[in-house]
Structure 1
Amino acid sequence: MDTAIKIFYYVARVFFFLAFIYLVLVILLRIYWNFKSKRMRGKPLPLLDGEFSRLKKGKGMVYFFSPTCKPCKEMEPIIKKLSRDAKIKVVRVDVNKKPELARKFGVLATPCEILTKDGKIVKIFLGPATEGDIRKALEL
């Protein structure tokens, strides 16, 4: 019985250590992404050709998504509503089909919304965002 308790405590310590490391990595990733997104504000979009040429003038959004991502599926109605809006041009990018494009923009996770104004990055949302947050960031 004494050996079973020692094994249990050993497994519990290993589990909590791994959980702690995971938590620290997640926090560091969020800090890194926050720093990176602040550095990108005000800079021009890396691509302004093809379908991205629509974003040269006016307000727009580059929406990176994955069809298998549950938060991306929850964002779909918001994105469709905003794309119907005449003032916002939305370019949707499937990261499974265009991973090189996601790398070029520095996207680490989906969903990711990059808000633009006249071809320059205004704000970056990592993860799902509400319609109100997006409209507020674009000052609609």
Structure 2
Amino acid sequence: MVWEGILKGVFFILLIVTFLALAFKVYVVWRGKKMVGERVKELEEGIVYFFSERCGACKRMEKEIEELEKNWKVVRVDVFSPEGHERAKALGVMATPTTLLVKRGRIIKVLVGVQKAEKIKDMMKTNNC
């Protein structure tokens, strides 16, 4: 009987944590969509990449960013630097890695999480955002 109550409590806590994680992901994507159309001072065309040295996903994304640097200008923004933190805050970046695709000085697409370089290249070439 005692174990049944404990298991129910653990299940309830896991359910709440899962719901909150999903809600946060939805919120991050919603904020990303609001960034589309915003002006970017750093470059006219290219990629703005928000990352953190401590982020495991950012470490996996590093080789993809290096591949993208062969074709486009990539502005790297470390969110733990004072300037990077302010820039992320101003745009509403809430997660790392976040990749902004920029054309004509404006954000055309916001990608959150690890992305393949090929996918980003296709989006940049075709404007298929």
Shorter-chain TM band: 0.7 to 0.9
The structure with the largest alpha-carbon Rg is 1
Among 5, 8, 23, which residue is 1:28 paired with?
23
TM-score of the two chains, using structure 1 as the length reference: 0.80
| Residue of structure 1 equivalent to 2:77 | 93
SS across alignment from 1:80: helix
> Percent of aligned positions with the same letter in both sequences?
35
Greater relative contact order structure (CA < 8 Å, 6+ sep): 2
Among 36, 46, 51, which residue is 1:41 paired with?
36
2:32 and 2:93 in contact (8 A); partners too: no
2:35 and 2:91 in contact (8 A); partners too: no
1:67 aligns with 2:62: no
1:110 aligns with 2:96: yes
2:48 and 2:99 in contact (8 A); partners too: yes
SS across alignment from 1:79: helix
State how far apart, in whole Å, the 2-side matches of 1:14 and 1:96 are.
37
Give the gaps of 5 or more residues in structure 2. none
State how far apart, in whole Å, the 2-side matches of 1:132 and 1:84 are.
12
1:44 and 1:119 in contact (8 A); partners too: yes
1:122 and 1:137 in contact (8 A); partners too: no
1:128 aligns with 2:114: yes
Q: How many residues align?
A: 124
Match runs of 1:77-88 below 5 Å? 77-85=63-71, 88=72
State how far apart, in whole Å, the 2-side matches of 1:37 and 1:109 are.
10
TM-score of the two chains, using structure 2 as the length reference: 0.87
2:48 and 2:101 in contact (8 A); partners too: yes
Opposite residue 78 of structure 1, the aligned amino acid is E
State how far apart, in whole Å, the 2-side matches of 1:112 and 1:37 are.
9
State how far apart, in whole Å, the 2-side matches of 1:121 and 1:9 are.
52
